[in-house]
Structure formats: structure tokens, C-alpha cells
Amino acid sequence: MSTSTATPDVDVVVIGAGFTGIYAIHRFRDRMGLTVHGFDAAADVGGTWYWNRYPGARVDIESVHYSYSFDEQLQQEWHWTERFPAQPEILRYLSHVADRFDIRKDVTFGVRVTSATWDDDASFWRVTTDDGAVTTGRYLVSGAGTLSVPKVPDFPGVETFAGRTLLTGNWLEDVDLTGQRVGIIGTGSSGIQAISEIAKQAASLTVLQRTPNYATPIGNHSTDPEQEAAEKAAYSDIRAKSRNHFLGVPYDEVQPSALAVSPEQRRAVFDDRWNKGGFRLFIDSFADLLLDKAANDTAAEYIRERIRERVQDPATAELLCPTGYPYGTKRPPLETDYYEAYNRDTVTLVDVAANRIDAVMPQGVRLADGTVHELDVLVLATGFDACTGPLLAMNVTGRDGLRLADSWADGPQTYLGLTVHGFPNFFMVTGPQSPSVLYNMPLAIEDHVDLIGDVLAHLAESGHTVVEPSATAQDQWVAETNALSEMTLLPTSASSWYMGANIPGKPRRVLVYLGGAPRYRAICEDVKAGGWRGFAVADSSRGLETATPGQELDPCFMFVAETLRQQQFPGFRAAGVETARAVVDSFVGMQAPPQRVAAVSEHSYGPDPEQRLRVYRPDVDGDDGLPVLFYVHGGGFMAGGLDVVDEVVRDLAVRTRSVVVSATYRRPPEHRFPAAHDDASAALRWTVGHACEIGGDGHRISVAGDSAGGNLAAAAAVQAVRDGVHLTSLLLVYPLVSPTAQTASREQFAKGYVIELDDLAWFGEQYTSSEADVRDPRLALDTLTAADLAGLPPTLVITNECDTLRDEGEAFAQQLRAAGVDARAQRFEGLAHGAFWMSLAVFGCSDQRQAAADFLVAQAARDRAPALA
């Protein structure tokens, strides 16, 4: 192919002809009219199913789900003979699909990609293959797979072995092992499948096990014609359910917690899922197995009990029982008669954790204690350089000579696990940091290829040719991926390939997105709905340097925004008062379990039932009066209440070791301006008057509020200072400063960011009755004079980048500074309005609350009365 013109040879170069390559070629070529060329090192299609022909190789997601969904006729006409088909049948299926869509004509087989280099001048990729050819393509799509670079351990002397060495991950022919003395290293999914089969053939089988695994029954059987017909009749429904499931399968029996049921109930659930087979025990029993060690222990112990039942020799059974890591933190294998293999006289289990492999010799494997296991065949089922390995093996170089290997020296850096900053027009199907291996692969692949198709269509529509994610979007994605991983038990496993821990020297970083397929899909939807958030487009590579990316948004917020959109929430105005209040109250569902405090008491500061306070005393030793934090909740003046901020103020009480007084107030439309403002002031007066009584230090009272509550808090503080009250500090979390503020952030984030501009307008209409109300300095804080503001305590204004109220909050901090107040604004990138309440849903909430707490604690320390200092 030519290499010298500015027009590339093809629009899209596709790497790999497995599940990804086949669909990608069809999608881009046949459905989009692009020119496409594929490469695969294999002699034919199949990808992982081409290379893994070891005995026992079998899929472990049900075939009805582990298959393409993109073509209705294809899924109707194909017949699977088994529930979990073996490798040959899956390869036949892929060959059939390749025939049906005439894929092979656009693939060069038997060549391996040795480098892919972005040409900054021509704005396309140069792809070099090991036959010396260079092919240029505008877009580069990798379907190189996640588990396609086998790990070959460098045992000393491995090349001296006189027998035959076979690698499960590169096993291309049927090998007759009858009568052979076989040794196998590795008891992961591949090893376990192979052991069950090889044990039936070999004269002897020596299993050299370093780490035992939690293998559970696959539950395979022939396809039942009636069930097949029923599934085919409901296929679109099944696919939709699958895509709405964490793992991409339509399982629907998961229960919330293994610890919330009795031991008998738990046992019944485990028995049921064990008997049903597949990944049901892992993914469809209890939702907290990967999150809570105690819950995980129940499943781990259950599996150990079942192993002991199946293995006759107690010592062998104990060796096969995993104990050193939680269930599921290494990918759980599925098995058929695996444990029974050890009941054969011909099978020996050797513990190479206790007595490590020292060397491979011509006659077999020697262990550290000098024992030699003599072998004719050595099978290496030692795993893969997962997820990043296949991409790094291709020597990818992006803009300005940036090597992927350097960009990823500290672990993968991606946006959506699909694209990489610095690598224009490069797409990784099921790449690292995407759900990939934790999402039924064919569906994960279709989703990714479709998303790439949408990106390319967007480029064509906008008249651009080059696309790349911003560094900010990528950083946010890496943070989301790592934060999700930290919430699970995965990082506690010492050798899981999910964490890159199986390869010496590989950075320990989570390689998969643990938020599940539905969350991932929702985020991708929001990326699209938000005008391709985080992606910059340009006419050329150089143009990317100055291109403005679509507004990035923290992935947590993308999920929240998309969830609201899917619920078709019509906005607060259309919802009306009652629904608006219910929606705001429902934000409790986005909060972490509330912190424990020492005492909570309820108080009134006026006759109206709304004039209430809730006082939280943290569990702090000592008789000294604690600092007091007076907190006014937000909710557009007309919604919100003590319950929805209960978790927020408990957290602040714990973080700041302060007594927190949480105030609510009379709300519109029943009570209009200035009722809420009068009440906030009255509630603060109550707090000042009762500070000592509630265990606080009357000299150290800080005032805080969020959103509309920020407005109320600021106005109450101004009034208190005017009345001669000493305040320690003022914390305003994305405050409403004025109903009529006209700012760039109000325009930019008017729609699609949780609180919309029209919501603000409607809240204002509910609360105010006249123009005079709207301009009243208690509400329109921007009309307060320097004299009004002078004397306010040190103030922190927290703002969020993607918030309608951002600019007015920051302007208010300036206004305070101009009046001589020690004030500053702290902006949180990528967050939107409401984050301060969303401790469970939005990971950045914790940073925001910590910033608030650090500020409050520092001010309280500084303001300590001399006698107590």
C-alpha cells in the first residue's frame, strides 16, 4: 500500500479479527461506508478463540448471551449445541459470521502489527506489520484483545526441556496426550479447564499449584430446544436486560447483602446459585461480596466446604482450598469435574508456593528442595499480560512522538478506557479502564464499536477529521476508575491480573472499570448528550493543540445527570411544589451511611412546626466547649429539610469535632420572603444563646449553608455581626448570591447539570412576591455594601466548575475581600451543583467536605479563647 500521500490508504485500520475486528469491519464498512482494512497475526478469524485450543477450552458465559446482538437474523439463525460451548464451536460461529458479512476480504492474516505511529503532518496513522508493509489509516481501532499476550515465566532452563512445552494461550492444534507424563503450571481459568480434560488422557498429571482458586461449577449441558425457542422469541428483551446488568447477563436474583440474611438463608442462596452454575454464585447471589470482607468470607467458606466434599484426600483438599485472598478478587474460574480430577490415582497436586519451582531441566521440573518431577509434556497455563499488554506490544506512538509506553509508565491513562490523550484518532475496544472483562465481551465490544462509530459520525457531521480526549477528562476518568477500585476488595489480592499483579514489574493499577456495564453505558450516554464531553475535535493534528474540548464533567456527575434524564424528570417548575420537595428529599439515596455521633437532640426556635433545629454532638472526649457550626440547608428555599442534610451535618460534626446545629425554616409558597431569612437569623440567635447549653463554646460559632441555604447563612451572619455577635468563620457552599445574577456560568450550565437555570428562576418566583423582594439586600447579597460586609469572619466560598451558581459565588468572595474580609473561593473542577450532599454518588464530595472541614477547624483553632488556648 502507498505511504507517501496525505490521503491515507484507508479510513480505518482495525487490528485483530476476533469478536471486535469482525464487528468493527462490518460496522464501519457496511453501515458507515468507510474504507477499512484489518490485520491479524492468526491465519484466520477468531481472536482469542483462534489461539486457545487447549483441551477443555470453553466459554463461561452462556452462549445465548455470549454472542453478537447486532443482527437479528444472525442471532435467530445460529444454533448453539451447548449452554457453554467449547472452543471449536465458538470458532465455527465466528467463521460463520465472517462468511456471512464477507469480512475476510478486508483482512490481511498472518501478519503482526509491529508499530503504529501517528503522523503529525498528515494527521493519520502509519501502521507497520512484520512483513515490512506500512498502511496508513485516518483512524486506528484496536481489537487486539485483553488476554492475548501470554505470560511465559522465565524459569531457568525452560529452553532445555527435552519434552514438549505447550502454552495454553498459544495452543493451535489437537495434541494427543494419551500415555504421556504431563506437568502443568498454573491453576487459573485456563489451567483448571485443561486439568479436568488432561487428567482423563494422560498417564500421569502433575499439577504444580502456586495459588489455589475458587472454582465453581459451570453447569454445562446440551441446549434445550424449548428453552432455545423461548430465548430466541424474547431475544431483544434479553439483550436489553443484559446491557442493564453489571456483568452484561440478564441475571436478576442478586440480594443486597450476605450479612443481612440468616446463615440458613445464605446457605440456600449459595446452594441455588452453585447448582445453577455459571457466574451466578459470583455475581447473582449477594451484592456485597466484592465490597465487604465479612460478606466475602461467607462465600469463600462455602466454596471451601464444597471443595472438601468433592476431594477424597483431606490433605489434597486443604491444598486446593484458597485462603489467602477474597473470593472474586482473582477472576473466579468455572469448572466441570475439576476437583474430582484429584481423586484419580494418576493426578498429583504439588504445592509450589511452599516448595517453589527452581528450574526446568531436560527431564522435567526441579523444585527448591531438589525434588524432580519427570515429564514428557510441560503445559504452561501461566496467564497473560492482561489489558495493557496487547496495546503496549504494538509500539504505539502518538502526537509529538509520545510513546504509549511512556504515557502509561505508571499504569494506564485513558478516557473511558477507549481513548488516550496525546493519541488522536486511536480507539481501544474494551481497553484498560473500560468494563471489558467484567462485561459480557460480545456486548461490551458492540457497545464500544458503536460508540466509535458515533464519534466518527460526529466528526463527519462537524466537518472535522481528528479527535482526542482532553487531559482533564482523562484525569477524571482515571480518578473514577481508581476510586471505584478502592471501594472494592480487589486491591487486597496479591497476584490478581485485574490489578496487573501477575506480571513482575507491572504497575499495580486496576485494569478494569468496576462501576459495571449500566453505569458505564450511562456515562457514555452523557458524554454524547453533553456534546461529546471531554473530546476535542480539529481539522488536523496541530489544530488539537488549540481546540476547545467539550465541557468535561466528573464521571460521577455524568452518571447522576444521565440517571435523572432517563427518569425523564421534567425540571422543578413542571414537577410542581410537592414533587420538587420529594425529589430534593430523595437525594438521601445518593448519600453514604450516616456517621455515628454521640447525641442528637431536636429543638424549636419558634411556634411554626418548620422552625426547628437539630443539634448533633460528636463523640469527642473532654469537657471543653466544642466549636459550634450553625448549618442552613439548601433546596431553592422551598425544598430540603433536616433529614436530607442529616448525613451531611453528621459528617461535618465528625470531621470538625464541632457541635452542629442544623436549621430548617418556613418555606414558600406557604411562607414567602422574608420568612426564611427571618427564620435563619432567629435560628442563629437561638444557637448563640444556647451554645453553652448544647455543649458548645459560645465564643466559637461558625455559620454555614449550601445553595439557597448559603444565601440564608450569609444574610444571617451579616445580621448577627450587625447585632454585635462574634462569629468564627463563614462557609458558603455554592451559595445563591442573587436571584437576578447574570453570569457566564448561569448561561454555560443552564441545562443538563442537575439544577437548571429555569429551576433557579422558578425557585425565585416561589419565594419572592415583588421586585422589591428580589432587590432586598438580604436576598440580593451582591447589593450589600462594603460597610454591610465589614466585620464578617474569615469566609470560604466553595464553588463547583459546572454549576450555574459558580460565578456569583466567586464574585461574592471578591466582594467580601474588597470589604476587607479574609475571604477566598475554592473551585472544584468537574463537579456540579449538589455535590456537597452526594457522598455516595459523587466521589469528589469527600474532598469538598474535607476542604470545608479543614477551613472550619483552622478557624476554630485560631479563634480559641485565650483562656482555653
Using rule CB under 6 A, residue 499 touches ligand NAP: no
Cα dihedral sign for 168, 172, 177, 180?
Answer: negative
* CB of 496 or CB of 541, closer to ligand NAP: 496
Using rule CB under 6 A, residue 185 touches ligand NAP: yes
CB of 90 to ligand NAP, least distance (A): 10
Using rule CB under 6 A, residue 357 touches ligand NAP: yes
Find the binder of ligand NAP among 90, 290, 352, 683 (CB under 6 A): 352
Find the binder of ligand NAP among 34, 59, 733, 821 (CB under 6 A): 59
Question: Which segment (15-23, 54-62, 341-349, 619-627) binds ligand NAP by CB under 6 A?
Answer: 54-62
* CB of 139 or CB of 497, closer to ligand NAP: 497
Q: What is the DSSP code string of 648-684?
A: HHHHHHHHHT-EEEEE----TTTS-TTHHHHHHHHHH
- The secondary element (H helix, E strand) that includes residue 20 is helix 19-25
Using rule CB under 6 A, residue 331 touches ligand NAP: yes
Using rule CB under 6 A, residue 438 touches ligand NAP: no
Q: 530, 753 in Cβ contact below 8 A?
A: no
Find the binder of ligand NAP among 384, 520, 532, 812 (CB under 6 A): 384
Q: 327, 258 in Cβ contact below 8 A?
A: no
Using rule CB under 6 A, residue 389 touches ligand NAP: no
- b/e for 140-165, b at 16 or more Cβ within 10 A? bbbbbbbbbbbbeeebeebeebebee
From the number of C-beta atoms within 10 Å of its C-beta (0-12, 13-18, 19+), residue 544 rates as buried
Cα–Cα dist 37/20, whole Å: 13
* CB of 58 or CB of 181, closer to ligand NAP: 58
Q: 448, 523 in Cβ contact below 8 A?
A: no
Using rule CB under 6 A, residue 257 touches ligand NAP: no
* CB of 185 or CB of 733, closer to ligand NAP: 185
Question: Which segment (185-193, 199-207, 406-414, 732-740) binds ligand NAP by CB under 6 A?
Answer: 185-193
Which residue's CB comes closest to ligand NAP? Answer: 188
Find the binder of ligand NAP among 383, 435, 634, 668 (CB under 6 A): 383
Using rule CB under 6 A, residue 191 touches ligand NAP: yes
* CB of 59 or CB of 654, closer to ligand NAP: 59
Q: What are phi and psi of 46, to 5 degrees?
A: 135, -30
Using rule CB under 6 A, residue 88 touches ligand NAP: no
Question: Which segment (5-13, 184-192, 248-256, 724-732) binds ligand NAP by CB under 6 A?
Answer: 184-192
Question: Which segment (109-117, 382-390, 611-619, 788-796) binds ligand NAP by CB under 6 A?
Answer: 382-390
Grid coordinates belonging to 726: 462574634
Grouping H, G, I as helix, E, B as strand and the rest as coil, residue 552 is coil
CB atoms within 10 A of CB 30: 13
Using rule CB under 6 A, residue 187 touches ligand NAP: yes
Question: Which segment (8-16, 294-302, 376-384, 464-472) binds ligand NAP by CB under 6 A?
Answer: 376-384
Query: In 506-558, which ranges are E strands?
Result: 535-538
Question: Which has the closest alpha carbon to 830: 479, 544, 569?
Answer: 479
* CB of 10 or CB of 57, closer to ligand NAP: 57
Task: Establish whether the linkage from the previous residue to 669 is cis, with ω within 30° of 0.
Answer: yes
* CB of 82 or CB of 776, closer to ligand NAP: 82
Using rule CB under 6 A, residue 497 touches ligand NAP: yes
Q: 436, 148 in Cβ contact below 8 A?
A: no
Find the binder of ligand NAP among 98, 144, 381, 760 (CB under 6 A): 381
Pick out residues in 138-177 that bind ligand NAP (CB under 6 A).
Answer: 147, 153, 168
CB of 186 to ligand NAP, least distance (A): 3
* CB of 329 or CB of 800, closer to ligand NAP: 329
Using rule CB under 6 A, residue 502 touches ligand NAP: yes
Using rule CB under 6 A, residue 382 touches ligand NAP: yes
Using rule CB under 6 A, residue 211 touches ligand NAP: yes
CB of 158 to ligand NAP, least distance (A): 10
Task: Write each residue from 5 to 44 as x if it is in contact with ligand NAP (CB under 6 A), else as -, in one continuous string.
Answer: ----------------------------------------
CB of 438 to ligand NAP, least distance (A): 10
Half-sphere exposure (CA, 13 Å, Cβ side) for 197?
Answer: 18
Using rule CB under 6 A, residue 820 touches ligand NAP: no
Pick out residues in 585-614 that bind ligand NAP (CB under 6 A).
Answer: none
Using rule CB under 6 A, residue 495 touches ligand NAP: yes
Find the binder of ligand NAP among 167, 295, 429, 437 (CB under 6 A): 437
From the number of C-beta atoms within 10 Å of its C-beta (0-12, 13-18, 19+), residue 264 rates as exposed
- The secondary element (H helix, E strand) that includes residue 474 is helix 471-486
Question: Which has the closest alpha carbon to 571: 314, 762, 286?
Answer: 762
Q: 353, 322 in Cβ contact below 8 A?
A: no
Q: 334, 248 in Cβ contact below 8 A?
A: no
Question: Which segment (131-139, 187-195, 553-561, 611-619) binds ligand NAP by CB under 6 A?
Answer: 187-195
Q: What are phi and psi of 630, to 5 degrees?
A: -95, 125
* CB of 191 or CB of 469, closer to ligand NAP: 191
Cα–Cα dist 468/548, whole Å: 11
Query: In 352-496, which ranges are E strands?
Result: 357-361, 364-367, 372-374, 377-380, 396-397, 426-428, 466-469
707 in active site: yes
Find the binder of ligand NAP among 92, 100, 210, 603 (CB under 6 A): 210
Helical H segments across 768-863, by residue range: 771-775, 786-789, 806-818, 844-862
Using rule CB under 6 A, residue 112 touches ligand NAP: no
CB of 507 to ligand NAP, least distance (A): 17
Using rule CB under 6 A, residue 186 touches ligand NAP: yes
Q: How many residues bind ligand NAP (CB under 6 A)?
A: 27
- The secondary element (H helix, E strand) that includes residue 729 is strand 729-733
- In sequence order, which residues have a C-beta less than 8 Å from that of residue 318 and are 6 or more positions away? 308
* CB of 59 or CB of 177, closer to ligand NAP: 59
Find the binder of ligand NAP among 8, 85, 145, 188 (CB under 6 A): 188
Grouping H, G, I as helix, E, B as strand and the rest as coil, residue 545 is helix
Cα–Cα dist 629/626, whole Å: 10
Find the binder of ligand NAP among 123, 136, 142, 189 (CB under 6 A): 189
CA-CA distances (angstroms) from residue 858 to 587, 595, 778? 30, 22, 28
From the number of C-beta atoms within 10 Å of its C-beta (0-12, 13-18, 19+), residue 753 rates as buried
User: Which is catalytic among the residues 196, 662, 707, 729?
Assistant: 707
CB of 552 to ligand NAP, least distance (A): 32
Query: Can you state the angle between helices 225-233 and 235-243, rounded to 10 degrees?
Result: 70
* CB of 185 or CB of 553, closer to ligand NAP: 185
Question: Which segment (375-383, 422-430, 532-540, 670-678) binds ligand NAP by CB under 6 A?
Answer: 375-383
CA-CA distances (angstroms) from residue 716 to 216, 656, 689, 704? 63, 21, 15, 10
Cα–Cα dist 20/30, whole Å: 15
CB of 504 to ligand NAP, least distance (A): 9
Question: Which segment (133-141, 190-198, 605-613, 766-774) binds ligand NAP by CB under 6 A?
Answer: 190-198
Q: Which residues are catalytic?
A: 707
Site for ligand NAP, rule CB under 6 A: 58-60, 147, 153, 168, 185-191, 193, 210-211, 331, 352, 357, 381-384, 437, 495, 497, 502
